[in-house]
Amino acid sequence: MLNYAASRIVQTVIVLLVISFIAFLLVANIGDPLAALLSADATVNERMELVARLGLDQPIGTRFLHFLTNLLQGDFGLSYRTQDPVAKLIIERMPATVELAFVSLLITIAIGVPAGIYCGVNPNSLFGRFIMLISTAGITLPNFVVGLLLIAVFSVQLGLLPSFGRGDVVKLGFWSTGLLSVSGWRAIILPAATLSTFQVAFIIRMLRTQLMEVGMSEHIRFARARGLSEARIWYVYAIKNTLLPVITMLGLQLGNIIAFSVVTENVFAWPGLGSLFLQSIQAADIPVIAIYLIFVGLVFMVINLVVELLYPLIDARVLRRQS
Amino acid sequence: MSISFSAFKRRLLLGTMAVALAVPLSAPLATTVRAADFKFAGPLDAYTLDPHAVSNTLIFAVLANVYEPLVRRNAEQKIEAALATEWKQVDGTTWEFTLRQGVKFSNGNLFNADDVIFSLTRGQAGGIKANLNSISSVEKVDDYKVRFKTRAVNPILPNQLTNWLIMDKEWAEANNATAPGAANNATETFANRNAMGTGPYVIKERDPGVKTVFATNPGWWDKKTGNVDNATFFVIANPSTRVSALISGEVDMIDGVPPQDAERIEADPKLHMQAGPDLRTIYLQPDLARDNLIFGSEKTKNPFRELKVRQAMELAIDTGAIQKRVMRNFSVPVGLPIGKEVNGFDAALGAPVKPDVDKAKALMKEAGYENGFSVTLDCTNDRFMNDEATCLAVAASLARINVKVEPRAQPTAKWATQVNPPEYNTSFSMLGYSPNTYDAHIFLTSIAATRDPKTGLGAFNIGGYSNPEVDKLIDAIGKETDQAKRTGMITDAFKLIKADVGFIPLHQLNILWGVKDNVTVVQPADLAYPLRYFTVK
């Protein structure tokens, strides 16, 4: 087990290094931040001064090395745009995104898992077919369309839920939470629902296929032959066999939501990491973009790691296979 | 479309009249009208609260509600007294400002000459230094009188100071914010995140990039003509969400309405559009500095150097069609690269050029380019309203005289590295300029003057236009103190520029606000949000 964990961690660090280099190369190519920082009437001298101050005149290799040294010393640099420390910006914005991801995961589990099981157990029922039809829409509609549709219906037409923002937030140390106020919960419903449409549809389809497959397997037929009740067969024996891939998918999707909620956050003016990322791209705020990309890499790696470390708890055979 | 649009225009006219009437009338009423809350949303946030860190329209738009300049613009965009009560030019290079007495910062500190001198030093060390460039030194006559020495004769110094906001010296010193925020890796100042001025509002709460809450400053020396006591500015980047927030009633006003949504807002019985002129003018500039086209078919000669080619291009572009089709009437075609609100704009010269394709074709033939040539047009796709679409329309217009234009639309950050100094890597570009002094001279010195890296003249003359006669006039305008003579010389300079067709003006943009019917707003051409004039019924 320890060996297993250690090898995974070493891999994670190597991948992160590669990601940070690629991130740096990418952002060095998106343009310079001078347009946003200098006034339209700035003289050439002022321009040159700023270029030198930001180190933009150094070769790319030197800049990366400098960036990496600072990174290892825990200095993530200052944003060109706001002149705030990048670490502070990311920590400030992270709670919004994590809460959004968390609520959308809850929705996914609360709706996707029961619906998926129902469709798997009763694949030919009318209701099961209806759910499958709806889930096709969930898979195919792009996120921003779902978001705008929800806004058009629930905010503009019905006036039930707010179309933007996070509502009132409560500070708990460095963490600002919107989950302790009514307006916060009202604000999170639409964006979380938007984010979860794809996940819900995906989980339903996956569970259905898995369950149908397991339903054909030997041990289920054997259980049925022994006269166990249908309920016991499905909900105790069959489901256990489908959980592994479902948990892997949910884990990876959580990473996806945290990392790429950019579109949904933009649509709902959700003050999370995605919005920060977009604002930074517009202003060519290289330090923030680079750190954000590395952060995203980190989130994926950590989630992956956690999921892989969870496997043995669900299916002891994984560990046995290792040894 | 035509019916609804004329109705819309009428509404617009009524709206403007209402504003004009409301301003003088509401002053005595202000005490009787109940205090109101006001919520509004825009696409971007002021990314710093430091008034001296960056010269940026949006930062000034937000901060002008909190900090004040010595002289400010009123609802009609005329200069009026703010922290200075009187100002006069003592001699050619000396301006004397008498300061208002008894003004307090919102922390209770008294405002005096020391704060002015401090803010000048701080401003000249920060990103707004270009705006304060003409001041060489300042002298404190007494606690409420200062004298500025200008580098050269400067007849329009007050115009240049409307965005120079005064900060409290004691406050800055107490909070270790005496140096302006700068984009290096050292300064993160207190003033970046906090604002404390003498203005009509204080910032009660701020979440950068999310919202800013303004509360009225009870100790303000002046009276608000509006009735907004609490205002919240939300940042909603996505235009569709912004429009939804207005329609669903969550906010009272939005900035940056997409032109295609204007009719939808007009159609709502509780909302209307407020569309006023933006100071910014959009124009095309061909590269005249190089001997060939770096992005185009002509590798041995530069067709733009032929006056006839430039004249033909100007005649071939149908700015009226761009106004109707691309801008949905939310632009005003102009014949000069400065807007109508700018001091020095001449109505006769500023009339848009009538398109004449036949004449344009004849001119191309005379110039020897009957078969045309091809060139890349550099433009932005995220900077001005419908900038990319305008670019495509220009390309279509010029195709009629066989100038094959290939539009290259890029995000501003990318575009700017390419076309901006010192490289000026473009053969043909679409540009926009907003003279923040409301005076033509700033356009002439930074854009129409011959490029000179030493003096900084013509730094943003992207196409390298050069006419010695114009340069002479620019120099003379800078020294002339007689306003009538000065305006005459500005007109002469623009006559020459127009005859040379060094710039092909397209249009002045409109500022598009969607507003609830119970709200009266004042919409300045420099994109500010002067909350002190806003009234909620």
From CA B186, how far away is CA B129, in angstroms rounded?
Answer: 19
Q: How close, in Å, is residue A153 to chain B by CA atoms?
A: 10
Shared domain for B170 and B233, answered yes or no, is yes
Q: Is B289 exposed, middle or buried (0-12, 13-18, 19+ CB in 10 A)?
A: middle
Interface of B with A in 324-363 (CB under 8 A): none
Residue A235, token pair as written in the block = 């909900």
Flag if B413 and A77 touch (Cβ within 8 Å).
Answer: no
d(C-alpha B361, C-alpha B424), whole Å:
29
Task: Say whether residue A283 is in contact with chain B using an 8 A CB cutoff.
Answer: yes
Q: Which of residues 144 through 203 in chain A touch B, CB cutoff 8 A?
A: 148, 151-152, 155-156, 159, 162-166
Q: Is residue B365 part of a domain?
A: yes
For A252, counting Cβ atoms within 10 Å of its Cβ (0-12 exposed, 13-18 middle, 19+ buried), the class is middle
CA–CA distance, A298 with B416 (Å, rounded to integer): 33
Residue B5: the pLDDT is 43
* Higher-scoring residue by pLDDT: B434, A241: B434
User: Measuring CA to CA, how many Å separate A228 from each of A123, A194, A215, A237?
Assistant: 21, 41, 14, 11
Residues 35 through 94 of chain A touching chain B, CB cutoff 8 Å: 35-48, 50, 53-54, 77-78, 80-85
Contact B51, B167 (CB under 8 A): yes
The average pLDDT across A273-277 equals 89
Supply the pLDDT for residue A40.
57
At B33 the pLDDT is: 56
Q: Are B265 and B271 in contact (CB under 8 A)?
A: yes
Asked if B442 and A275 come within 8 Å (Cβ–Cβ), the reply is no
**Burial of residue B90, with CB atoms counted within 10 A of its CB: 0-12 exposed, 13-18 middle, 19 or more buried:** exposed
> What is the pLDDT confidence band of residue A228, given thresholds at 50, 70 and 90?
confident
Contacts of A31 in chain B (CB under 8 A): 411-417
Token output for A313: 């708890």
pTM of the model: 0.81
State residue B395's pLDDT score: 95
**How far is A99 from A104, CA to CA, in rounded Å?**
8
Encoding tokens for residue A217? Answer: 């397997």
CATH assignment at residue B335? 3.10.105.10
- Cα distances from A213 to residues A208, A242, A243, A315, B433, in angstroms, run 9, 9, 13, 18, 66
* pLDDT tens-digit series, residues A12-24: 788 888 888 887 7
Q: Which residues on neighbouring strands pair with residue B202, listed in sequence order? A: B215
* Phi, psi angles (nearest 5°) of residue A114: -60, -40
Residue B24 belongs to some domain of the structure: no
Residue B303 in contact with residue B309, Cβ under 8 Å? yes
Residue bearing tokens 């200062």: B146
Question: CB B347: neighbour CB atoms within 10 A?
Answer: 9
Confidence of residue A39 (pLDDT cuts 50, 70, 90): low
Q: Give the structural domain span for B70.
A: 33-270+517-536
Q: Return the residue matching tokens 């020391």.
A: B114
- Does residue B95 fall inside a structural domain? yes
**Domain presence at residue B470:** yes
**Cβ contacts of B411 on chain A, cutoff 8 Å:** 30-31, 282
- Residue B397: inside a domain, yes or no? yes
First to last CA, chain B: 31
> What pLDDT, on a 0 to 100 scale, did the predictor assign at position B8?
45
Task: Identify the DSSP state of B35.
Answer: P
A254-270 pLDDT, tens digit per residue, is 887 877 688 899 899 89
Q: What is the number of CB-based contacts under 8 A between chain A and chain B?
A: 162
Residues B376 and B418 in one domain: yes
pLDDT at site A211: 87
Cβ of A312 under 8 Å from any chain B Cβ? no
Chain B CB within 8 Å of residue A269 CB: yes
Is the ipTM value over 0.95, yes or no?
no
- The Cα of A101 is separated from the nearest Cα of chain B by a number of Å equal to 19
Residues of chain B by 3-state class (helix, strand, coil), percent to 5: 35, 25, 40
CATH at residue B111: 3.40.190.10
Same domain, B476 and B531: no
Q: What single-letter amino acid sits at A169?
A: V
pLDDT-derived band at A37 (thresholds 50, 70, 90) equals low
With contacts defined as CB-CB under 8 Å, which chain B residues touch A53? 182-184
Does any domain span residue B4? no
Cβ–Cβ < 8 Å for B350, B503: no
Query: Average pLDDT over chain A, rounded to whole?
Result: 83
B54 and B179 fall within a common domain: yes
Contact B184, B137 (CB under 8 A): no
Interface touch A163/B250, C-beta < 8 Å: yes
The whole-angstrom distance between A31's CA and the closest CA on chain B is 4
**For the residues of A119-182, what is the DSSP string, one character each?**
HHHSTTSHHHHHHHHHHHHHHHS-HHHHHHHHIIIIIIIS--S-SSS----EEETTEEESTTSH
Are residue B459 and residue B525 in the same domain, yes or no? no
Does B411 reach chain A within 8 Å, measured CB to CB? yes
Same domain, B256 and B150: yes
pLDDT band at A284 (very low <50, low <70, confident <90, very high): confident
Q: Is the pLDDT of residue A296 over 50?
A: yes
Question: Cβ of A152 and B244 within 8 Å?
Answer: yes
| Count, residues in chain B | 537
DSSP 8-class letter at B198: S
Q: What is the pLDDT of residues A107-152, one digit of tens each?
A: 999 999 899 989 988 888 899 899 999 898 888 888 889 999 999 9
**For the segment B307-324, what is each residue's pLDDT rounded down to a tens digit?**
999 999 999 999 999 999
Give the per-residue pLDDT at B535.
94
Q: Which of A54-58, A219-223, B72-76, B470-474 has the lowest mean pLDDT?
A: A54-58
Same-domain pairing of B175 and B199: yes
In this structure, are B372 and B470 located in the same domain?
A: yes
Pairing of strands B228-235, B36-42: parallel
Q: For residue B356, tell me if it sits in a domain.
A: yes
Q: Which residues of A touch B53 (CB under 8 A)?
A: 83
Q: What is the DSSP pairing of strand B504-516 with strand B36-42?
A: unpaired
Which superfamily, per CATH, for A86-322? MetI-like (1.10.3720.10)
Closest chain A CA to residue B47: A82
Radius of gyration in angstroms for the set of CA atoms belonging to chain A, rounded to a whole number: 24
Cβ pair B53, B127 in contact under 8 A: yes
- Are B183 and A50 within 8 A, CB to CB? yes
CA distance B120 to B165: 9
Q: Which of B129, B192, B209 has its CB closest to that of A275? A: B209
Burial class of B56 by CB neighbour count within 10 A (0 to 12, 13 to 18, 19+)? buried
Q: Does a structural domain hold residue B291?
A: yes
Interval A174-202 mean pLDDT: 90
Strand B331-333 with B535-536, pairing: unpaired
- B127 touching chain A per CB within 8 A: yes
What is the structure's pLDDT at A28?
66
Same-domain check for residues B308 and B180 = no
Which residues of chain B have a CB within 8 Å of the CB of A81?
Answer: 47
My answer on whether B55 and B200 are in the same domain is yes
B90 phi and psi angles, rounded to 5 deg: -70, -50
What are the angstrom distances between the C-alpha of A64 and each of A165, A287, A293, B390? 36, 11, 15, 39
Question: B interface mutation test: which of A34, A39, A157 has the most B CBs within 10 A?
Answer: A39
Residues of chain B under the 50 pLDDT cut: 1-32, 183-185
Residues B384 and B419 grouped into a single domain: yes
B530 and B467 within one domain: no
